[in-house]
């Protein structure tokens, strides 16, 4: 951390920004609104997983395309995953978001069905492989489970692997949504079997740049090593809820141009 920034002052500054941005109106401009459309646990976690998967690029486009994904599943994600017919999968072929296309979408639906049929669901896979210090090894194991089904190699890139050096921004964001139970109703806190203390910050261009300017991150690349460095700094500020600072870093970068 920079010697020029007092640690207590920095924590107070970031805590203030968390309160400013960790509010219900944050939902209106963020992909987290997609899982908020549902109430059944499985619908929430599937819709959230798909929305997080395509969460790169323009935020309005992400939200629009995530809504298209849900609509293509008849607005019943879990029923579609578990009970789809072949002709229904063919309807997904038209979908595209940047490099994520219809064939990727179909693979994801099949992989999700495999997880619910054979592994007890999404929460169970991550909970089974959680470690005491981090969920990054669990993401690595999740990817292995996810691709146990027959699939095209091209779809591999849409599920990140922290043990291969990735910051895994989108999955870490998804895990924040599902696990972190805030008091304002933004994050959903749906998964009770995993502690929020194990979560990692969704490290992207915005949060990374702000973290470097504040002196809580020195590594130049937004990769797994940078994430470990950022995690360590944020855990010192709040060991029980380190990723609440994602709201501060993201808000400073996106809304304030910090």
Residue 216 near residue 233, CB atoms below 8 Å: yes
Q: Mind listing the pLDDT tens digit for each residue in 168-197?
A: 999 999 999 999 998 899 999 999 999 999
Angle at 147 between CA 135 and CA 69, to 5 degrees: 85
pTM, rounded to two decimals: 0.95
Q: Is residue 22 part of a domain?
A: yes
Q: Which domain holds residue 221?
A: 7-254
State what percent of residues in the chain have pLDDT above 70. Answer: 98
Average pLDDT of span 250-256 = 91
Identify the sign of the CA torsion 160, 33, 192, 111.
Answer: negative
Q: Is residue 80 part of a domain?
A: yes
Q: Is residue 161 part of a domain?
A: yes
CA 14 – CA 32 distance, rounded (Å): 21
Residue 178 near residue 170, CB atoms below 8 Å: no
Q: Is residue 140 part of a domain?
A: yes
> How many domains are contained in the chain?
1
- pLDDT at res. 133: 85
- pLDDT at res. 8: 82
**Mean pLDDT across the chain:** 94
pLDDT above 70: residue 3: no
pLDDT above 80: residue 1: no
CA 68 – CA 62 distance, rounded (Å): 10
Q: Mind listing the pLDDT tens digit for each residue in 216-228?
A: 999 999 999 999 9
Q: Is residue 113 part of a domain?
A: yes
Residue 62 near residue 29, CB atoms below 8 Å: no
pLDDT above 70: residue 94: yes
Average pLDDT of span 137-154 = 94
pLDDT above 60: residue 255: yes
- pLDDT at res. 4: 47
Label each residue of the chain as H, E or C. CCCCCCHHHHHHHHHHHHHHHCCHHHHHHCHHHCHHHCCCHHHHHHHHHHHHHCCCCCHHHHHHHHHHHHHHCCCCHHHHHHHCCHHHHHHHHHCEECCEEHHHHHHHHHHHHHHHHHCCCHHHHHHHCCCCCCCHHHHHHHHHHHCCCCCCHHHHHHCCCHHHCECCHHHHHHHHHHHCCCCCCCCCCCCCCCCHHHCCCCCCHHHHHHHHHHCCCCCCCCEHHHHHHHHHHHHHHCCCCHHHHHHHHHHHHHCCCC
pLDDT band at 5 (very low <50, low <70, confident <90, very high): low
Residue where the block lists tokens 């964001």? 173
Q: Mind listing the pLDDT tens digit for each residue in 35-92?
A: 999 999 999 999 999 999 999 989 999 999 999 999 999 999 999 999 999 999 999 9
The phi and psi torsions of 215 (rounded to 5 degrees) equal 85, 15
pLDDT band at 257 (very low <50, low <70, confident <90, very high): confident
Q: Is residue 182 part of a domain?
A: yes
Residue 226 near residue 165, CB atoms below 8 Å: no
Q: Is residue 2 part of a domain?
A: no
Q: Mind listing the pLDDT tens digit for each residue in 199-211?
A: 999 999 999 999 9
Residues in the chain: 258
Q: Is residue 220 part of a domain?
A: yes
Residue 55 near residue 173, CB atoms below 8 Å: yes
Q: Which two tokens stand for residue 64?
A: 């629009």
């Amino acid at each position: 951390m920079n010697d020029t920034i007092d640690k207590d002052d920095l924590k107070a500054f970031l805590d203030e920004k968390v309160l400013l941005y960790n509010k219900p109106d944050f939902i209106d401009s963020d992909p987290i609104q997609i899982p908020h459309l549902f109430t059944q646990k499985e619908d929430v976690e599937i819709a959230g997983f798909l929305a997080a998967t395509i969460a790169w690029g323009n935020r309005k486009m992400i939200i629009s395309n995530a809504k298209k994904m849900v609509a293509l599943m008849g607005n019943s994600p879990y029923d579609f995953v578990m009970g789809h017919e072949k002709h229904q999968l063919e309807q997904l072929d038209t979908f595209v978001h940047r490099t994520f296309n219809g064939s990727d979408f179909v693979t994801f639906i099949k992989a999700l069905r495999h997880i619910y049929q054979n592994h007890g669901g999404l929460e169970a896979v991550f909970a089974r492989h959680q470690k005491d210090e981090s969920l990054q090894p669990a993401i690595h194991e999740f990817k292995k489970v996810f691709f146990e089904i027959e699939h095209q190699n091209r779809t591999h890139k849409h599920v990140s692997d922290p043990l291969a050096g990735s910051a895994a921004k989108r999955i870490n964001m998804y895990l924040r949504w599902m696990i972190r139970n805030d008091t304002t109703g933004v994050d959903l806190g749906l998964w009770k079997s995993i502690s929020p203390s194990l979560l990692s910050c969704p490290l992207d261009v915005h949060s990374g740049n702000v973290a470097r300017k504040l002196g809580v991150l020195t590594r130049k690349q937004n990769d797994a090593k940078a994430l470990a460095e950022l995690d360590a700094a944020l855990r010192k500020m709040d060991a029980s809820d380190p990723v609440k600072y994602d709201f501060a870093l993201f808000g400073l970068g996106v809304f304030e141009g910090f």
